[in-house]
Structure 1
Amino acid sequence: MSTRILVVEDNKTLAKLISNKLATSLNTEVDVAYSLSEAKLFLARHKYFITLLDVNLPDAPNGEVVDYALKKGNHVIVLSANIDKDFRHKMLQKNIIDYVNKSGNNDIDYIIATIQRLKKNKAHKVLVVDDAMMFRKQMQRMLENMFFEVITVAHGEEALGMLQAKPDISLVITDYNMPVMNGFELTLEIRKTYSKDELCILALSGNEDDEISALFLKHGANDYIKKPFSKEEFSVRVNNSIEALENIQMVTNYANRDYLTGLYNRRYFFNTIGEYIEEVQESNERFAVAMVDIDNFKHINDTYGHDVGDKVIISLADILKSSTNPHDIVARFGGEEFCVVLKNINRFSAVDIYERIKHAVEEFSLAVNKKEIINFTVSIGATLYSDEEGLDETINQADMLLYKAKQAGKNQVVFQEF
């Protein structure tokens, strides 16, 4: 999808200020029109991510540009000096994203933050649960205008089925009063599987009982909106919920990932591999564990410096990721040492993959500067996991085999079964 933005503003000084700030902050192309007639030419020529529209133009003094842009299927943010409440309310009844009063730099900063939020929203799925078709369609229209992917269902049981089919849903918006399973019961069921750190729940109700909101929030809802609500309140609460979820996931990701390579860190590796071992115990699925270490890494650091050493580590991490399947586990244990687990594999296939990793590293060249290129190698010690020995002993065995590879001349794979 295009990230291009159209600004329609008859004040040329203001239009230039807005367009320059948007282009710099969002790193995107920005077109500027000073009238409805110019805007029509741009809209015929390009697809826009957002159109930022003034409602008082020389040839369209009453917001006609908004109707035209919406008719052509554009996403609209209104930027206006008109602070009349009735006019503002009338504009917000249209399928616009937001109505922003133009009063200074803070408003431009707000628009930039809004556009950044809308871009992020494209990565999220929202599930709407409501037995009233008209209300479902209304919420779907508002959410799609905020760039979310939207799924709608009529009651709680359907919602639970949809969550099983699409586990990557970020937000569930549920009504309270529904047949079969009401919104409160649905919230309790969802929280048996998904924590607040994994999925947001936004509850809606027109119920006058104040205890309903407290019950929802106590039993797992992230937020609660009382009907009827304004488009602005709905948008702000939805965006806030998604942003809070993203922040939690970002912190979790930092805790689980190695800062330099983006691979899993040692702590998260042991949590993940423990869960995997429990899952495969009944199926007797085999998997291989390898310790991988960069040969002569101290010499690389001493000769070229730690910045080059970091680049070597990052390069190896990239090779390990590209040489394994997404379901395998690749982690940096620290320094120049990595652990690579190949799931559901036999001895011969595992040896083949570890040998390919060794050769890929051997053939890789890293440019230190315009004149100098360095090469490096790895040693690998690997074994198949044994239930009898357990995880710690399996990793110790892989470490011992790595030591053998180093003692035997480096740049080789030593594989041995228990």
Structure 2
Amino acid sequence: MERILVIEDNKTLANLIAKKISKELDIEVDVAYSMSEAKLFLKGYKYFLTLSDINLPDAPDGEIIDYVIKTGNHVIILTSNIDKNFRRKMFEKNIIDYIHKSGIEDINYIIANIKRLIKNKQHKVLVVDDSVVFRKQMKDMLNNLFFNVITVAHGEEAINILDTTPDISLVLTDYNMPVMNGLELTTQIRKKYKKSELCVIALSGQSDDEEIALFLKSGANDFIKKPFSKEEFSCRVNNSIEALENINEITNQTIRDFLTGLYNRRYFFKEVGKYFDNAVRNDENFSIAMVNIDDFKQINDRYGQDMGDKVIVHLADILMSETSSEDVVARFGGDEFCVLLKNVSSENAINVFERIRQNVLTSVAMSDKDEEIRYTISIGIALNYEDTLEDTVNEADMYLYNAKENGRNQVVYK
């Protein structure tokens, strides 16, 4: 579990912040009311984040901020000081944010900020800039926001990284670079990645409206003029990542089954249809199977629909664990699943589905009353493709029907 340290001499405020963070984020929170107490906590624990006031009884001039940074901890400043010059001076230090403590909305902002930082740990960012100074500056700022960062000097290097590291979420690219400039890089990226798949933020020190428009027309999500403030940089990067997450969430809602998280029927026929045509054309071996829970109605009748849902999720987990990341597992509805095994011989496909059947047979799903629910499945496999994907799925469904008619708890294939 992540751990956060709140350093604040106002005990009422400190305890309120700690209580809300613990409740909403399930994070363990320690509270220190002075610098001496904070030192003890920092020596005893490694913190995900430190929220600190500037003026403490035993450190009235902001000494605590320098101390926390020196220990290698990430810092968000909480203060009632609204002086702009002082704020600017604090941002020259390696802090994440500077927040005025004026009411409950500020606490809500802190919690939203923490949620964002936790999510950032899941994202990789590629920085492309021929300036060593700017590369380091951006890497330090991004690391402080908990991103995983890769840096390169020009566009051609960036293309190579993207080819070998497909899970990058954001590219930050300078305009003027040797070998391949930022505009050329953005154009190349958009030939392979949509805006909904990869964010691009362009940066330039000699930008005009025409240059900004060129980048945006070429597919950049945003543009930052150099030199930039740490606050502007952080906001633009976080906003781009958040927009990407929102798009992915909406997309997932349309292609994923709400109960199991597996792909749905619509996605299966759309995406697997493309694979099916290519596989048939290239004579690639694959198998499609229909999987169904035996006597599922009896499970619902005896234990209730909630338990029936748990059995469906239990089977979904087994199907995912016994197939590879390249295969496709979809829930068609109810207790009916369809599985595509790619690039597999008939013999190996049969072995995989027989192993799945055995796994289900020997495992149990647990009810809310700690009852062991045992169940079996029937599987029909189409080892050879028909004229269309739909015909091949229907073939597998026919073998599934045969498995049911012949006594259930078996794998039937041609």
- What's the TM-score bracket when you normalise by the shorter of the two chains? over 0.9
Query: In the aligned structure 2, how far is the partner of 1:400 from the partner of 1:173?
Result: 52
Letter in 2 for 1:349: N
Query: In the aligned structure 1, how far is the partner of 2:201 from the partner of 2:43?
Result: 39
1:392 to 376, 390, 395: 390
User: How big is the shift at 1:302?
Assistant: 3.0
Identity %: 64
Q: Which residue of 1 aligns with 2:249?
A: 250
Residues 371 and 273 of structure 1: CA distance in aligned 2, closer, same or farther (over 3 Å): closer
Residue deviations 1:365-399 (CA, integer Å, cap 9, x gap): 3344537543222111112133x633222212111
User: How big is the shift at 1:233?
Assistant: 0.7
Q: Which residue of 1 aligns with 2:126?
A: 127
Query: In the aligned structure 2, how far is the partner of 1:200 from the partner of 1:314?
Result: 33
User: How big is the shift at 1:239?
Assistant: 0.2
Query: In the aligned structure 1, how far is the partner of 2:12 from the partner of 2:306?
Result: 46
Query: In the aligned structure 2, how far is the partner of 1:302 from the partner of 1:29?
Result: 42
- Summarize the alignment of residues 19-418 of structure 1 with structure 2, pairs less than 5 Å apart: 19-281=18-280, 283-368=282-367, 370=369, 372-386=371-385, 389-416=387-414
CA contact (8 A) 2:5 2:47 kept: yes
Query: In the aligned structure 2, how far is the partner of 1:64 from the partner of 1:231?
Result: 21
Residue deviations 1:133-156 (CA, integer Å, cap 9, x gap): 101100100000000011111111
User: How big is the shift at 1:102?
Assistant: 1.0
Query: In the aligned structure 2, how far is the partner of 1:46 from the partner of 1:375?
Result: 45
SS in 2 for 1:77: strand
SS in 2 for 1:192: helix
Residues 268 and 61 of structure 1: CA distance in aligned 2, closer, same or farther (over 3 Å): same
CA contact (8 A) 2:268 2:330 kept: yes
Query: In the aligned structure 2, how far is the partner of 1:26 from the partner of 1:304?
Result: 33
Query: In the aligned structure 2, how far is the partner of 1:9 from the partner of 1:362?
Result: 57
Query: In the aligned structure 2, how far is the partner of 1:399 from the partner of 1:208?
Result: 60
Over the aligned positions, Cα root-mean-square deviation in angstroms equals 1.6
Residue deviations 1:340-370 (CA, integer Å, cap 9, x gap): 1222222222222212222222223334453
Query: In the aligned structure 2, how far is the partner of 1:308 from the partner of 1:20?
Result: 34
Of residues 267-276 and 93-102 in structure 1, the stretch that sits farther from structure 2 once superposed is 267-276
User: How big is the shift at 1:207?
Assistant: 2.0
User: How big is the shift at 1:330?
Assistant: 1.1
Would you say how many aligned residue pairs link Structure 1 and Structure 2? 414
Query: In the aligned structure 1, how far is the partner of 2:287 from the partner of 2:129?
Result: 48
User: How big is the shift at 1:323?
Assistant: 2.0
Letter in 2 for 1:293: N
User: How big is the shift at 1:158?
Assistant: 1.0
TM-score (norm 2): 0.96
Query: In the aligned structure 2, how far is the partner of 1:373 from the partner of 1:7?
Result: 44
User: How big is the shift at 1:225?
Assistant: 1.2
Query: In the aligned structure 1, how far is the partner of 2:369 from the partner of 2:12?
Result: 45
Residues 306 and 370 of structure 1: CA distance in aligned 2, closer, same or farther (over 3 Å): closer
User: How big is the shift at 1:303?
Assistant: 3.2
Query: In the aligned structure 2, how far is the partner of 1:103 from the partner of 1:369?
Result: 45
Structure 2 segments unaligned to the other structure (5+ residues):
none
Q: Which residue of 2 aligns with 1:3?
A: 2
CA contact (8 A) 2:378 2:411 kept: yes
User: How big is the shift at 1:314?
Assistant: 1.5
Letter in 2 for 1:140: K
SS in 1 for 2:192: coil
CA contact (8 A) 1:286 1:344 kept: yes
Query: In the aligned structure 2, how far is the partner of 1:42 from the partner of 1:55?
Result: 17
User: How big is the shift at 1:208?
Assistant: 4.3
Residues 121 and 372 of structure 1: CA distance in aligned 2, closer, same or farther (over 3 Å): closer
Letter in 1 for 2:123: H
SS in 1 for 2:36: helix
CA contact (8 A) 1:77 1:96 kept: yes
